[in-house]
Homo-oligomer: A and B are copies of this chain.
Amino acid sequence: MAVQISELTISRLSLYLRLLNELEGKGVKTVSSKELAQAFGLNAALIRKDLAHFGDLGVRGLGYVVKTLQRELRSILGLDRNLKVAIIGAGNLGLALADYPGFRKEGFEIVALFDNFPSKVGKESRRGVSIYDIQELKNIAHCDGIGIAAIAVPEKSAQNVVNTVVEAGIRAILNFSPGTLRVPEHVKLKSVDLTVSLEGLSFYLARESRNEGV
């Protein structure tokens, strides 16, 4: 089972799961790759290939049993194990992430915020996530078994914070700071770059108005 599964496949599995949750709520029993494909604007074969990586999850002639596939995807994505998340940076964005309802839904638990700004330490977010000094990260990460750190600090301190997070033994990082960050081989870093996203849209608008003139 040394087959490397692509990031693109993994992202799509999350989407499939979200729809399955919805279907399950509506009492739908089975769903075909064709129906899933339509819902996401994807090719049905792609969905079957994505799922086939993890065994014969479907039933020929019938499709996929919603509850079964839901359970399988949860297990594949590791959502059957109440994963704990720490947010580093108690600025506007960090506080918003700490209280973001979408994170809590699929079994993630936001256990703590961290900051190095003394006046913030000891306070908490609106929904009651406590803010600790970043110095305490290592201790708390070990005691509480934090699996993922989300980083929402200014660009200039981001690499330092990443180093601290790595030293604390955390092996998965969701980064919201701009700029390129280095992590060791065994740590998984995923970056959400808001500036890059916005500039992509700007490019689209700029090209559009250029083409109007042609």
The CA of A60 and the CA of B118, in the complex, are separated in Å by 52
In the complex, A136 has a CB within 8 A of chain B:
no
Instruction: List which A149-187 residues lie within 8 A (CB) of chain B.
Output: 150, 154-155, 171-174, 178-180
Overall SS of chain A's interface: helix
Contact A100–B194 (Cβ < 8 Å)? yes
Which residues from chain B contact A154 at a C-beta distance below 8 Å? Answer: 101
- Closest residue of chain B to A199 (Cβ to Cβ) is B14
* A47→B100 CA distance, assembly (Å): 37
* Interface check A198, CB cutoff 8 A: yes
Contact A15 B180 (CB under 8 A): yes
Among the interface residues A17, A155, A197, A201, which one has the most CB atoms of the partner chain B within 10 A? A201
Distance (whole angstroms) from the CB of A18 to the closest CB of chain B: 7
A204's partner among B1, B41, B188, B205 (CB-CB below 8 A) is: B188
**Is A99 at the interface (CB under 8 A from chain B)?**
yes
Q: Which of A1, A15, A192, A200 is the most central at the interface, judged by chain B CB atoms within 10 Å of its CB? A: A200
Q: Is the CB of A199 within 8 A of B106?
A: yes
Given the known inter-chain contacts A14-B196, A15-B180, A18-B179, please indicate yes or no for A202 contacting B100, CB distance below 8 A: no
Interchain CB contact (< 8 A) of A171 among B95, B190, B208: B208
Q: Using Cβ atoms and an 8 Å threshold, which residues of chain B touch A79?
A: 199, 202
Provide a sorted-by-A list of 8 A–B residue pairs whose CB atoms are within 8 angstroms.
A14-B195, A18-B178, A78-B205, A78-B206, A92-B99, A93-B97, A172-B201, A173-B201
